[in-house]
Structure 1
C-alpha cells in the first residue's frame, strides 16, 4: 500500500495528523470517490476517524412521464415513494464509500442530514458539531483545469465564506487540492474557549443560530481580548506617569477634565435616545397612514365586488327560471318517449322464439362446417387458440346504434364512446374509438388481437368488429361498471359484501389467467373499477384491453417478465415503479388489483384511500372505514382482504404477493363461504316465480334457467356445468336424442345468453 500511495494521483498536500479527538469530515455525493481517496491519502496513515457526510436536498422538480412536476402538485404518498428511492440510492453510495475506507483500514462513520440548501446544511453542521476538519469537492470533474486555484462551485464558495472560522477546509477537484481555507490561528484550548464564548454571546441575543452572528460573537471575543491587553498597558503607563509627576495640581486637573468628559458623554447619550424615540414615532405614524390607506382601498374594493355580485345574482336567477321551464318541457317529452319505448319492448318480446330458431340453425351450420374441417385434417379455431371474430360493416354498426344516437350512449372515455345497440336481434355494446386519437387504430388492433386469442368466464366477450368505423362489438353487460355500482349510480341497489368477495375472486381469476397465458403473458396495465363490468347476475368481467401488453420472449429479464413502455392508465391505479421507470410487469396489475380490493371494502374513491386504510389497520379501527351499505362485514374476512390489498399496494414490486400462490389461497375459502350465504335471486327461483319463462331458456338436463349456455354437437343448448359433467362422466351420446355425438366440442351461445340476461334484468327490476 505504501508503494501505491507514493504514485497515487491523489496528492497536493502531505499527510497531516489532526488534533487529538478530532474527526475528519468528508462531504460526499454520487461521484465523490476521488475526493474520498484524497482524504484517505492525507489523513488515513495516522489512523484518523472519518465521518462520511451527505447533505440530502429535496429536488425542486420531479421527472415523471418526461415532464418536470413540482412536488407540491403530487400526492403525499407518491412524494414519500420518491424520497425513499432517493435515500436508498444515497445509502448504496455510502456503503461503497465505507467499503473503500475499510480497504484502507480506516474507520468511517456515515451521516446523512437533510436541508433545503446543500451549502447551508454544511455550514449548520460545522457549527452544530464543532467540525474542525472538512474535505469537500469544488466542481465537476469536467470543469477541472491544472491551473485552477479559484473555487468554481457556488456551494464551495458559500461554505468557504460562511463556515465557522475555526474549521479548516480542503476543496478537492478530480483528486487534486484546488484550495485550502486555513483555520483561525489559535490553539485547541483557545478554540474551545472561543466557541464557548460564541455560544454565550448567541444566548444573549435571543439564541440566534445564524452563522453571521456566530462570526460576530467570535470577533467580539477577539476585540475584547485586545482591548483588555491595551487597557493593561495604558493603565500601567498612566500609573508610572503619575508616579513620576506626583503633583497634586495635575491630579485635580485630570479629575475635573474627567468629570467634564463624563457629562458630555451623558448629554450625547440622551440626545441619541431622543433621536431614536423621534424616529420610532415617525415610523409608527407612517405605518398608521399606510394602514388607513389600505383600509380605504379594501372598503372600495368590497363595495365594487358587492355590486358585481348583485348583478351576477340577478342574471343567475333569470337563467335558473329559464332552465326550470326547459326542464319541464324535456320531462314531458321524456315521458312520451318512455311510453313509446315500452310499446316497442313489448313487441320485441314476441320475436324471441324466432331468434332462437335462427341462432340454432346458424350454430348447427357452424358445427357441421367445423366437423368437415376436422375430418379433412384442417386446424380449427379451438386448435390454434384463436376465436372467430365477425367482421361487420359500417352500415350494420350505424343501424345497430341508430347512427350513434347520443341517447344510446352508456359510457365515455378519452379513448372513445360506448353505445347500447341492437345487432342481429341481440343487445350488444358498441365501443367506437375516437378517430381524433392517433393511437385509436393501434388500440383497435390490440383489442381484436388479444380478445381473439383468449377466452375466460371473467373476460368480456368480443362478438364482432368493424375496422372502417373503428368499432368493437361486445356482449351487453346490463349492470354497468363496478365504479357505477359502488357509487349507486341511477339509484341502483348497493352491492352486499358477499357479492363484493365474488367480484374480487372473479377479477383475481381473470388476472391469473392473463398472466399465465401461453406462450406469452398478457399484462392488462389499465385495471380499474370502470373497466370491471357486471352482467345480469353481477358476475364480474374484465374489459378495456386497448392498452394491454403481451410480454414476448424479447422482453424477458433474468427472473421477471417486463416490457419498457410509456406509462398509461389511471393515476390512482398506476404502479408507482411503472410510472417512474416505464417497466411494465404482471406485478403492475397486482398494484391496481390492490386498489380495487380497497375500494370494494370501503366503497370510496381511490384518492387518499391507501393512506387511510394503512392508518385504520395500524390503529385497529378497520370497521370504521368499511362500507356500511355492504352489510355487516365478517371481521376475519374484512381484515384478511385489507391486509392482502395493502400487500398488493406495496411501493416496491418485490414485496407484492403472487396472485396464484398467495392471493387466491386467501380469496378461495372466502368465495366458498360467501357463495353459501349469498342472498341473491337464484335462477331456479326466477323460473318458479314467473310462469312466462321461454322454454328455450331452460336447460334440458337441469330443468333450470341457463346462465352460461353452450351448444353441443347434437344441436341442443345446455348449461355449461351440466353438459360438461355429462361428457366427463363418460357419456358419448346426446342427452336429448340418445344418439352418438360426432364430437365433444362445445360452442358458446352468445345470442341466447344475452337474451337470458336481458330477460332476467327486466323481470328482477
Structure 2
C-alpha cells in the first residue's frame, strides 16, 4: 500500500504549491496521498548571539567585560536566554507549520481524497526531502521544478536548486515528477530521465547542473575544487557525448555558456566570502591591538594606583601612630579631669554645707537686728521730741498714697504732698521692705532732731508704723524747678538769686561749725534746695547714709559741700545744667565773654558782682580740695555786701527771714497769732497752750477745728515746732 502512495512535496506558500498538488490529484486518481514538507529551522539563535559580539561595545565597556568571570556569567545568561528564545520561536513555527499542512489536507478532502502528513525539520530543503525518501522508502514523489513565475511553454528543464539536488541524490527506486505551474516539466524513473519536450537540451542542462551540484555536495572534495572551472576533458566529454550528437552548434554554445556563468557566479561568491573573511580578520586584528593598548594603559594606571595606595597606607600608618599617642595623652588628661571633678564635688558639698550654716546664721542675725531696730525705734519714739502720728492719719493725709500726690521717688523712699489736719505738709515715706529701712529712719530722725536752722527744712512729726517723716510744705518747690521755670513759673530775679546764695552759705557755715562733730550735707544740689512762699531757701534730703558710714574729717566734709556750693553759684549765674559747667565758665572768663554767658532772664546783672561770684564759684570747684575757699573768711565776705545791696539784712547765723509772712503752721487756730508754746491736742491739731486751756475751761469739750467731741483733754508739747518758731523769731532756746 505504501508503494501506491503518492508523496507530494510542498512549501509554506500554499498558493505557490497548490498547482503542484492539483496536478498530482488529477493524474493519480485512486491512489493514496501524503503531503511531504521539509521545515527549515529558524535562524533565531544565531541572530540572538550576535547581540553579544564585542565589536559593537565601547572601549570602557570592553575593559569592564575583560573580567573572565563576568564574561562567563554573561555568556551563560545569554545562552539561557537564547535557548529560551529559540525554543519559543520553534514552537511558534511548528504551530504555523501545522496550519499550513492542514490547508493542504483540506484541499484534498474537498475532492474526496484522504491524505496524510509527513514532515521533517532541516536547514536544507533538498537534503530534507532526500532524507525522507531514504527513511520511508518512498517510491513516488511529486515536487516543484521551479517557481511558478519561471514557467514558460518552452520550459523543459529543472531550475530549482532543491529539485536539482533531489534529482541528483534521490534513490534510484524512487520515481519523481517535477511540476511547474501545474505542468509536468521533467520526470525520473528507475534512474532514467524523461523530458516532456526538448529532451536533449534539458538533459544537457541537467547534467551540467548535476556536475556542479555534486561538486559542492561531495564531502571528499576540497573547497578549492568546488570553485574550479571544468577541465578541458570534461568539457570535451560533455560536448562530444552521445547526448549532444545531432544537436546544433547553437545548443552547444548555450549549454556551455550556462555552465560557465554558473561556475563564475560560484567563483564570485567564494571570492566575496574570502574578502569578507579577510576584512573580518583585519578588523579583529586592529581591535585586538586596541585592546592591547587599553590593557597596557589599564595596567599602568593600576600600577600607579597601587603606588599611590602604598604611599597613602604609609601616611595612614604614621597618622595612626600619631593619633594613638594623642589618644593616650587625652585619656591621661581625662583621668586627671575625673580626679579633679571628684575633688571639686567634694569641695562643692563642703561649700554647700558651710553656705547653709552661714545662711542660717545670717537669718538669725537679721532677726536679731530687726528686733534690735524695732526696740531702738520704740525707745527713740518714747524719748523723741517730734509729735507722733498714726498710720491712719498718714493714709488720710495722702489719700492712701495716691500716685497723683507723689512728688518724687528716691532711693530709700517716696515723697508725697499731703494735708494733715487741713495743713499742707510734705511726707517722706521710707521703703518698708528695705533691710536698712529701720536704721535709715532712725538715723534721719536723730539727725533732724539734733539741730534747728531757718534754712533747714522743719520736721513737723513722725509716724512709726509707716516709717514716715512729716515736713513743712514749701510751695515754690526746688531751686532746680525755679531755674528751669517749671510749670511756667516766673524766672528768679538776680536779687533773689543772691539772697538764695547767701542763705545756702549761711546754713553750710552753721552745719560745718556744729559741735561736737560737724555735719556734712553730702548731697547738696539744686534739687535738694527747697524754696518757701517768701523765697527763703531750705536744705533737705541730707545724705544720712553717707553721714553715718563716712565720718570724714572737717576739711574733707566741708570741702565736698563747698564744691557743690560752687556748682550752685554757677547755676544761679547762668541758669544752665551743672554738667561741665565749671569748665565752660572758665573758658568764658578766659575769653572775656561773661556777659553773654549770664542768665539775663534774671534781669540786668551788675557786672562787677556777677564777675566776683563767677570767680568765687570757680575757686569752690577747684579740683584740689585744699585750694577751695573758706566759707566764713572768704565766701561770706563776698556774699554779705551783695546781700546788703539787695535791700535786705542778714545775720551770719540766722540767715534771711521775713517777719511779715510767718509760715501758716506757726499760727494758732484760736488766737490767729504766732504761737510761743505750741501743744498738740487730742484732735491732732497744734494750738497755743494758753488758748487751748481757755477753750476747755470755758466749758467746750469739742475740737476748735473739727467741732467733734474730744476723746480726752490731755495735750502733748510740740517741741520741734516751738524750736522752729523761736529760731524764726531769733529768740534763744
Q: TM-score, normalised by structure 2?
A: 0.37
Say which one has the larger Rg.
Answer: 2
